[in-house]
Structure 1
Amino acid sequence: MNEHDYKRFYSDQSFQQKLRDFAKTAGIQVAYAALLLYYLMKDPSISFKTRLTIAAALGYFILPTDAIPDLAPLVGFSDDLGVLIFALSQISSNITPQIQEKAKDRLRLWFKNIDESKLDELHDKIF
């Protein structure tokens, strides 16, 4: 499958359902990366090409069959994280502090104690 095939699997509803169901299993970095992309896609100022990149990455994330099954202990979301990080690195100049804060606010609802160092590690990979 190429990038354009994955975007057909993306919808707001399917993304939110998967993230709600798997946020704790996937871990804070996967959830944060997905939320950054999600909130960036909602920004009306981003280009169509950027939206396609985001839709493809989030489509891969919610795809029920991927390279490593999401139910596999410890490694199930590693391929998802790789795809999300790659997409984020391609469009990182579009990620504003406001988008970062929206994503962190959502994480605070889902996780009791956010380890900010895990988010910093992800930022180092993206920016």
Structure 2
Amino acid sequence: MESVQGYEHNYSEPRFWHKINRYGKVAGASVVYHALLLWYIAIKDSTPVPVKLLILGGLGYFIAPVEAIPDFLVGLGYGDDAALLMGIFSSVMMHIDDDSKSKAKARVKEIFGDRADIVSPFL
């Protein structure tokens, strides 16, 4: 998994929602679902600070305008984001809860409609 250290400074809640709302349909339902699920886990009071920092570093990478593979490259641009987000899940799996999953799925449906194709082992 690519290091997320140094990307925390890219994270802010307004920038996160801007990325989701403006580029979510380009990134795809699965990438958006995973980003949202991580976000909902990060904002829970019960999530330990080290886990929050890992998540925020990953979301900072997702938001970052400059990264390993630029997001504007069709077919490739969000591949590194998806891989990084999935890698973070391996470290935070014990913090994935049904409430966060429900909120992420509901938000994906708002963005993509009922035909959202979410591919995730974390549904």
Q: Taking structure 2 as the reference length, what is the TM-score of the superposition? A: 0.92
Given residue 64 of structure 1, which amino acid in structure 2 is its aligned partner? P
**Displacement after TM superposition at 1:4 (Å):** 3.0
Question: 2-side partners of 1:88 and 1:62: how far apart?
Answer: 17
Q: Provide, for residues 17-39 of structure 1, a one-character-per-residue CA deviation record: whole Å limited to 9, x for no partner.
A: 01111110000110001000110
Mapping for residues 10-49 of structure 1, pairs under 5 Å: 10-49=11-50
Superposed counterparts of 1:42-121, under 5 Å:
42-112=43-113, 113-115=115-117, 118-119=118-119
Please state how far the C-alpha of 1:97 moved relative to its aligned partner: 0.8
Contact 1:4 1:52 in 2 (8 A): no
Deviation per residue, 1:24-77 (Å, 9 max, x gap): 000011000100011011100010100111011000000001111101111110
**Structure 2, unpaired ranges of 5+:** none
Q: How many residue pairs are counted as aligned between the two chains? A: 121
Structure 1: stretches of 5+ with no match in the other structure: none
Residue identity (%): 33
RMSD (CA atoms): 1.6
SS at match of 2:6: helix
Structure with bigger helix share is 1
Q: Supply the AA of the counterpart residue of 2:31.
A: V
Partner of 2:8: 7
Letter in 2 for 1:95: I
Q: Which amino acid aligns with 2:83?
A: G
